[in-house]
Amino acid sequence: MIKAGIVGGAGYTAGELLRILISHPEAEIISVMSGSHTGDPVFKAHPDLEGDTDLIFSDSISDESDVVFLCSGHGKSKGIIDQGIIPEGAKIIDLSADFRIEDGTHDFVYGLPELNRNRIKTAKNIANPGCFATCIQLSLLPLADAGLLNEDVHVSAITGSTGAGQSPSDTTHFSWRSNNASVYKAFTHQHLGEIRQSLTQLQSGFDKGIHFIPMRGAFTRGILAACYLRSDISENEAKAIFEAYYTDHPFVVVSDSEPDVKKVVNTNKAMVYIQKEGDQLLIQGVIDNLTKGASGQAVQNMNLIFGLDEKTGLNLKSAGF
């Protein structure tokens, strides 16, 4: 059994990670660290887990951990590592943005399996991709791999409120978000750097703009991204390119019908749909921001690192209604 520890165990991504790992046939959670909940039962922060686990929040990570998931939020992971609380030899899977840019200053591999699966298998440390970045990249990687990103890319995408984390703010609390929608960080979103990094990994000459308009939606989970660009290829040619690229990637479905977030919520699945109108090629992508966009992908990366089938423990059912 893989012995897992979690740092920052009280937040949304940690809660989702706990739900997946509790039922994982090859993993065992041996410590869940939380500075704000030390000594409390885990279900005090995650009430839906009452009756599923007797785990208690601790103030440290077990020395027996084979893998440690960092769920403490952006800007905190380096400090946690520098404290020396992670056992020597343990793999690290970081769910923050701290190590996603591979700039030569760290040894973290960017953990998008549909791009870096072979590198992930031999990695010591993994930087889990961002949620918007995962959805957008899965909608564009096959085109980059075929050298077909030769025009500016436009993206409009909307995310549920859980993408902003558990701590309440003016734009996440229920009374503001309900029956509402808004744009934020237009053209400047923090995920643009990792998206460009991945696209240029496959298409080294890609130097076009990525014009990204993120939006907040009045729902809790899920991301829908509409990515479009001018292209000379036909709809059928584009679909064939996507199907070939994702042949060996079990969590990406190239769909024949327009997707919606309910098809993927609570799963590690991504769905993409391709259509052509005039000279515009449109790719719609949907994921659950907490599973494929965060904790599910983290477990997928764990599976790859430890030589398991990447689907292990991730046979999750969507909530269709």
Residues annotated as catalytic are 131
Q: Which are the contacts of 315, defined by CB distance < 8 A and separation ≥ 6?
A: none
Task: Please check whether residue 285 is in contact with residue 225, taking contact to mean a CB–CB distance below 8 angstroms.
Answer: yes
CB-side neighbour CA atoms (13 Å) of 284? 12
Phi, psi values for residue 84, rounded to 5°: 75, 25
The conformation of residue 283, written as its DSSP 8-state character, comes to E
Six token digits for residue 85? 């609380």
Contact 91, 109 (CB under 8 A): no
Beta strand extents in the chain (DSSP E only): 2-7, 27-33, 57-58, 67-70, 91-94, 108-110, 125-127, 153-159, 182-183, 210-216, 223-230, 252-254, 270-277, 280-287
Indicate the SS3 state at residue 149. coil
The radius of gyration computed from the CA coordinates of the chain, to the nearest angstrom, equals 19
Angle, CA of 200, 204 and 208, to the nearest 5°: 65
Q: Classify residue 284 by its DSSP letter.
A: E
- In single-letter form, the type of residue at position 111 comes to G
CA distance to 32, 38, 89, 187, 304, per residue, from 118 (Å): 29, 38, 20, 32, 9
Cα 19 to Cα 281: distance, rounded to the nearest angstrom: 38
Sheet of strand 223-230, all strands in order from the earlier edge strand to the far edge: 182-183, 210-216, 153-159, 223-230, 280-287, 270-277, 252-254
